[in-house]
Structure 1
Amino acid sequence: MNPVHGTKNILSIAGSDPSGGAGIQADLKSIAAAGGYGMAVISALTAQNTHGVNAVHVPPAGFLTEQLRAIGTDIRIDGIKIGMLANAQVINELTDWLAEFRGAATQAGTPVPAVVLDPVMVATSGDTLLDEAAGAALRRLFAHADVITPNIPELAVLAGAAEAADWDSAIDQARELAARYEVLVLAKGGHLDSARCRDGIIDASGVLFEVESARHSTANTHGTGCSLSSALATFYARSGDWGAALRSSKTWLDTAIARSGELEVGSGHGPINHLARLWDGAAIDVAGDALQAWWERISPIRTAIDELGFIRTLQDGSLDAADFEDYLGQDAIYLRGYARAMSRAAALAPDTESQRFWAAAASSCLEEELALHRGRLAGPLPEPSPSTTAYLNHLLAGTDSYPVLAAAVLPCFWIYQDVGTRLAAANHRAHPYADWLSTYADPGFEEATAAAIALVNGVHAAADARTRQAMWCAFEASALHELAFFAQTAAEGPRQATNTAAADFAPEGDAVPAR
Structure 2
Amino acid sequence: MFTNNRPFVLSIAGFDPSGGAGLLADAKTLEMLNCNGLAVNTANTIQNDIKFEACYWTSEAIILQQLALLMERYPVEVVKMGIVENLQILNKVIDKLMIRNKKTKIIWDPVLKSSSGFSFQEPGEFQIDLESILEKIYVVTPNFDELKLFYPELNFEETVRKISSKTNLYLKGGHRPADIGLDELFTTEGNCFRLEPVRRDCSEKHGSGCVFSSALAAHLALGNSLVEASKNAKKYIEKILASNNTLLAYHNL
1:32 deviates by 1.4
1:95 deviates by 3.1
Q: Give the TM-score, by structure 1 length.
A: 0.45
Distance 1:114 1:205 in 2: 17
**2:240 matched residue in structure 1:** 256
Alpha-carbon contact 2:12-2:39 (below 8 Å) kept = yes
The superposition leaves residues 5-35 of structure 1 with CA deviations (integer Å, 9 ceiling, x where unpaired) of 9411100000110000001111111111222
Alpha-carbon contact 1:11-1:81 (below 8 Å) kept = yes
220, 228, 232: which one pairs with 1:236?
220
The superposition leaves residues 320-362 of structure 1 with CA deviations (integer Å, 9 ceiling, x where unpaired) of xxxxxxxxxxxxxxxxxxxxxxxxxxxxxxxxxxxxxxxxxxx
**1:459 matched residue in structure 2:** none
Compared with structure 1, are the counterparts of its residues 204 and 69 closer, same or farther at alpha carbon in structure 2 (3 Å cutoff)?
closer
**2:160 matched residue in structure 1:** 174
- Structure 1's unaligned 5+ residue stretches are 104-111, 265-269, 277-515
**1:386 matched residue in structure 2:** none
SS at match of 1:39: strand
Compared with structure 1, are the counterparts of its residues 79 and 228 closer, same or farther at alpha carbon in structure 2 (3 Å cutoff)?
same
SS at match of 2:129: helix
**1:188 matched residue in structure 2:** 172
2:175 is aligned with 1:202: no
In structure 1, give the amino acid aligned to 2:205. T
Richer in helix (by share): 1
Structure whose CA Rg is larger: 1
In structure 2, give the amino acid aligned to 1:225. G
1:72 deviates by 0.5
The superposition leaves residues 220-258 of structure 1 with CA deviations (integer Å, 9 ceiling, x where unpaired) of 421011110110011011123011111111111111111
The superposition leaves residues 288-338 of structure 1 with CA deviations (integer Å, 9 ceiling, x where unpaired) of xxxxxxxxxxxxxxxxxxxxxxxxxxxxxxxxxxxxxxxxxxxxxxxxxxx
Structure 1 segment 254-333 matched on structure 2, within 5 A: 254-261=238-245, 270-276=247-253
SS at match of 1:232: helix
Distance 1:156 1:76 in 2: 35
Structure 1 segment 114-125 matched on structure 2, within 5 A: 114-125=105-116
211, 218, 231: which one pairs with 1:247?
231
123, 142, 147: which one pairs with 2:139?
147
SS at match of 2:147: helix
The superposition leaves residues 102-157 of structure 1 with CA deviations (integer Å, 9 ceiling, x where unpaired) of 24xxxxxxxx2311111112333556421334541354322221000011111111
**2:36 matched residue in structure 1:** 37
2:41 is aligned with 1:49: no
SS at match of 1:73: helix
Compared with structure 1, are the counterparts of its residues 235 and 88 closer, same or farther at alpha carbon in structure 2 (3 Å cutoff)?
closer
SS at match of 1:239: coil
Structure 1 segment 421-436 matched on structure 2, within 5 A: none
Q: Give the TM-score, by structure 2 length.
A: 0.88
1:79 deviates by 1.1
**1:294 matched residue in structure 2:** none
- Structure 2's unaligned 5+ residue stretches are none
SS at match of 1:116: strand
The structure, 1 or 2, with the larger RCO (C-alpha pairs under 8 Å, 6+ apart) is 2
In structure 1, give the amino acid aligned to 2:138. D
Distance 2:89 2:189 in 1: 33
Compared with structure 1, are the counterparts of its residues 55 and 203 closer, same or farther at alpha carbon in structure 2 (3 Å cutoff)?
same
Alpha-carbon contact 1:62-1:93 (below 8 Å) kept = no
Distance 1:235 1:126 in 2: 30
1:177 deviates by 1.2
Overall identity of the aligned pairs, in %: 27
Distance 1:229 1:126 in 2: 20
**2:196 matched residue in structure 1:** 212
117, 128, 152: which one pairs with 1:160?
152
Compared with structure 1, are the counterparts of its residues 48 and 191 closer, same or farther at alpha carbon in structure 2 (3 Å cutoff)?
same
In structure 2, give the amino acid aligned to 1:260. N
1:99 deviates by 3.2
Structure 1 segment 57-68 matched on structure 2, within 5 A: 57-68=56-67
Alpha-carbon contact 1:64-1:90 (below 8 Å) kept = no
Compared with structure 1, are the counterparts of its residues 228 and 7 closer, same or farther at alpha carbon in structure 2 (3 Å cutoff)?
same
SS at match of 2:38: strand
SS at match of 2:19: coil
1:195 deviates by 5.3
In structure 2, give the amino acid aligned to 1:154. E
Structure 1 segment 390-409 matched on structure 2, within 5 A: none
Compared with structure 1, are the counterparts of its residues 74 and 254 closer, same or farther at alpha carbon in structure 2 (3 Å cutoff)?
same
Richer in strand (by share): 2
* Total equivalences in the alignment: 248
Compared with structure 1, are the counterparts of its residues 258 and 128 closer, same or farther at alpha carbon in structure 2 (3 Å cutoff)?
same
2:196 is aligned with 1:224: no
